[in-house]
Amino acid sequence: MFNKKSRRVFVYGYGGIGKTFLWKTLSAALRSKGEIFLNVASSGIASLLLTGGRTAHYRFIIPINLTDDSFCSFASDSDVADLLRRTSLIIWDDAPMVHKHAFEALDRSLKDILSCDLCSNLKLPFGGISIVFGGGFRQILPVVPNGSKQDIVNASLSSSYIWSDCKVLRLTKNMRLSVRTNDIKETKTFAN
């Protein structure tokens, strides 16, 4: 499904829009085909909602103190690297919460370990592994200590070189509100 062509997709939507349902459905479809995928999230609470979910920092061993040339801290002969070589898709929920250097560190690390298998992977984003990011830029943005608004915007995923390769899909209907009430007028007022 995803391993034939590397893709980067960002599913944009605020809380209650159905992102977690989408992740679970996508995971079930990949599992039924016997494909290996990784569910990660930017926070521990969000990772608990995903099947087999882990925080991105834990799964990819992303350094705490990131710079613009950081790499993830796994060795090319480690179990993590072996798992990543066999992975066809990474689902990363609540992506806007993380500093762009974390995504760029993962990109460099995947290019590094996957280029050993196939030299053309060095040119592909994330070494050729497809990634589906999700979240909303209206929720929590990266924390930049003593940072201005501009510093925070510059630290976000949308300011990374990775963003230009992402196809943005928007979810617009609040599914959580539509199933909890029968009064459509009240639901629309609350949503607005």
**∠ Cα 158 121 97 (to 5°):** 25
In which band, very low, low, confident or very high, does the pLDDT at 187 lie, cut at 50, 70 and 90? low
In which band, very low, low, confident or very high, does the pLDDT at 115 lie, cut at 50, 70 and 90? confident
Q: Is 3 part of any domain?
A: no
Query: Can you give the CATH number for the domain in which 37 is found?
Result: 3.40.50.300
CB 120 within 8 A of CB 73: no
Q: Is 2 part of any domain?
A: no
Q: Is 125 part of any domain?
A: yes
Q: Is 1 part of any domain?
A: no
pTM (predicted TM-score): 0.84
In which band, very low, low, confident or very high, does the pLDDT at 173 lie, cut at 50, 70 and 90? confident
Which amino acid, one-letter code, is at 134?
G
Measured from the Cβ of residue 182, the count of other Cβ atoms closer than 10 Å reads: 8
Q: Within a 13 Å sphere around the CA of 45, how many CA atoms are in the beta-carbon half?
A: 2
Q: Is 156 part of any domain?
A: yes
Q: Is 94 part of any domain?
A: yes
- Domain span at residue 81 reads 8-191
pLDDT tens per residue across span 22-52: 999 999 999 999 999 999 999 999 889 888 9
Would you give the DSSP letter of residue 124?
A: S
In total, how many domains does the chain have? 1
